[in-house]
Amino acid sequence: IFSLIPDKIFFAEHIGRYTHAFESAARLFGSCGICNKTLLRTIVQEILCNIIDDIYSTLLYSQRNPVEYAKSYIEQYFNCPLSVDNISSVVGLSPSYLRTLFKKSEGESPNHYLNRTRIEHAKEMLLSEMFTIEEVASACGFQNVYYFSRVFKKYTGTPIFFRSLYLPIIKPTAVLSIK
C-alpha cells in the first residue's frame, strides 16, 4: 500500500509507524474466525484513517512552513540525488521562490544546506576506519569522489586531512634486538 503513495507526501517515519500494525492485522486475518473479521475491519479502518491524517498533516505542514519542510526532506534524503528543482517540487514552490524563502529564513541557499548536511554525515563516517572515502562519498549522496572531495574541502579541508586529524596514525614500531 505504501508504494502507491508518492515519496514527496509520505516520509519514511510514517511507514515505519504502520508496518507493525499491518503485520498484526495480517496475522489476525490469517487466524480469523467470523467474530474476528469485524475486529480486523476496524483495525484496518483505523490504520487507514491514521495514514490519511498523516498525509493531510504533512501536506498542511509543507504549506505552512515550506522551508522547514524542505529542511526535513533534505535531512531525510541527503544521500539521494537531490536538486533545488526536486526539493521545490516536493514542497510545492517554484525553485526560485524556494531559494528566496530559504535564504531569508536560514541565511543560506538550499544547495548550501544540502551540502553542509551531507558533509556533516560524511564527517561522522570518516571518523570510522570502516569506510573508504569513495564509500563515504557515495553514501552521502555525492555522484563521485572528486566532487565530494572538492565540496568537503570548502567546508573542512580534504577528507584525508580531516581523517588524519581525528584518527590516530598507527606506525609500525621498531623492534630493538640486543646482541
Give 152's contacts (C-beta < 8 A, 6+ positions apart): 119, 122, 158, 159, 162
pLDDT at 170: 43
pLDDT recorded at residue 17: 61
The predicted-structure confidence for 63-111, as pLDDT tens digits, reads as follows 578 999 899 999 999 999 899 998 988 888 899 999 999 999 999 999 9
Residues near 158 by beta carbon (within 8 Å), at least 6 away in sequence: 149, 152
| Cell numbers that stand for 10 in this block | 509520505
Amino acid (1-letter code) at residue 141: G
Over the stretch 17-39, which tens digit does the pLDDT of each residue have? 666 666 766 666 666 555 566 66
CA distances from 144 to 81, 127, 131, 135, 160 (A): 11, 20, 15, 10, 16
Contact 84, 98 (CB under 8 A): yes
Contact in structure between 133 and 158 (CB atoms under 8 Å): no
Mean per-residue pLDDT over the chain, rounded: 78
- Per-residue pLDDT for 54 more than 50? yes
Radius of gyration of the chain (CA): 24
pLDDT band of residue 165 (cuts 50, 70, 90) is confident
Check pLDDT > 60 for residue 147.
yes
Q: Is the pLDDT of residue 9 over 50?
A: no
State pTM to two decimals.
0.62
